Amino acid sequence: MATYDPRTQKLLTFHDSVPRFLDGRDTPRAYLERCLDVIETREPEVQAFVVMNIDGARAAADEATRRYAEGRPLSNIDGMPIGIKDLFETKDMPTQMGSPVWAGWESGRDAAHVHGLRKAGAVVLGKLVTTELGFSFPGKTRNPFDPGRTPGGSSSGSAAAIGAGMVPAAIGSQVAGSVIRPAGYCGNVAIKPTYGALNRGGGHSSLSQSHIGIHAGSIEDAWATCWQIANLAGGDVGYPGLYGALEPMAPTKPTRLVRLETVLWPSVDDESKAAFETVIEHLKRQGVTIISRAEDADVETYEALTADALELTLQICLFELRWPLGAYRERGPGMLSESMLERLAEADKQTLDDYRAMLERRDQVRKAYAALKAKADGFIALSSPGPAPKGLHSTGSPAMNAATSMTGTPVWSLPLLAADGMPLGVQLGGFPHEDAKVTGHARWLMDSFLTQG
């Protein structure tokens, strides 16, 4: 098996094909057929898809081809094949949420963001595997770089489809680490935007930390997908949506970054630690100031407060999920996994006062993170405590991601590193509603590190 190298690995992109669509050298239909060829080759091993609508995708690609021929594309993602995480409704395919509870269920409508994507001309190709109800019990998907390893979760199929070069973009979602972690494991570019920036309507995603995220082969395609969703479907109800222009911000060097280690740093293997240090040293050589917990009291306060961020996130989610999980349990044996039943038993013991106390703790974390804004442009960290673990019984730990889901801050996972011959992602984050700014920083880091680092 070939060893992964982020400098030579080529991900599938879409934005650079648009000029060829406009002048007739290529077409969205031909682009789709190339995607289908890759899927035919890789899907038996990777198993990223739950269901596909190939006829519908071909019809949509033909419509996009006609629009380009007439010089009137609907958007900068018109004709782009995209996969949808199977937590979100699609009018032409079932939405089964990785659970027997929802086997064969069809709503007959699109989720809000899927509706927006279709309005922009995107070609909705299929539904991608999620873990059980978006939690930790694994689905069938395997890592595209080693089928004996997990792709991560819960956006398992979304990350694997990008890593395998099946599609240029895919929808994921994150409550703890379900976008950033699998992106790191599968060598994706991915963004978890500011909380509420993309409309979650029409999916199993009502939790108070749930974000829609985008997996892609490039920052440009991920940003374009975010922008079109926000501008055609809006953000969550009561939220202002995604800020920023149609074009992603130009590559911009950050001035100061907080280095976050997180509670899992002591368990990170030596190779992954050494790889991360190459990014830190590159930033320092480029004149970026790095601030760590050892030298700044506010960073230390934040790191200490987030030591239990994952467990706190899980407990908040379980209180919020007592309904519907309790209703699913009442339907009889086999509806929920044993791990989900065990968690639900924990949730049954929670009280409203417990939930209020947990929300207060989350507010403390948010305030501690907000205090860092006066010191830095954002943060940098590993996307995971190492490369994808071997075995398919677990999706790996999201403990390095949970705190930034709690704070609702925009985060990119960038495929900058390798360890044990596998992808190792780097998180680059900012502050709420500064998605465009951190996107400029991400573009700069990708360009500078992979060409100079």
CB contact at 8 A, 194 and 236: no
Query: Span 15-248: which CATH code?
Result: 3.90.1300.10
Residue 73 pLDDT greater than 90, yes or no: yes
Question: For the segment 385-414, what is each residue's pLDDT rounded down to a tens digit?
Answer: 999 999 999 999 999 999 999 999 999 999
**Mean pLDDT throughout 40-67?**
98
Residue 205 confidence (pLDDT): 67
Residue 93 pLDDT greater than 70, yes or no: yes
Instruction: Point out the least confidently predicted range of 131-135, 150-154, 177-181.
Output: 131-135
Residue 1 pLDDT greater than 60, yes or no: no
C-alpha to C-alpha distance for 184 and 181, rounded to whole angstroms = 5
Task: Return mean pLDDT, the chain.
Answer: 97
**Mean pLDDT throughout 78-97?**
98
pTM of the model: 0.97
Confidence of residue 453 (pLDDT cuts 50, 70, 90): low
Question: For the segment 312-335, what is each residue's pLDDT rounded down to a tens digit?
Answer: 999 999 999 999 999 999 999 999
**Mean pLDDT throughout 212-228?**
98
Residue 215 pLDDT greater than 70, yes or no: yes
**Mean pLDDT throughout 289-315?**
97
Domain boundaries, the chain: 15-248, 309-367
Residue 452 confidence (pLDDT): 83
C-alpha to C-alpha distance for 304 and 318, rounded to whole angstroms = 23
Confidence of residue 43 (pLDDT cuts 50, 70, 90): very high
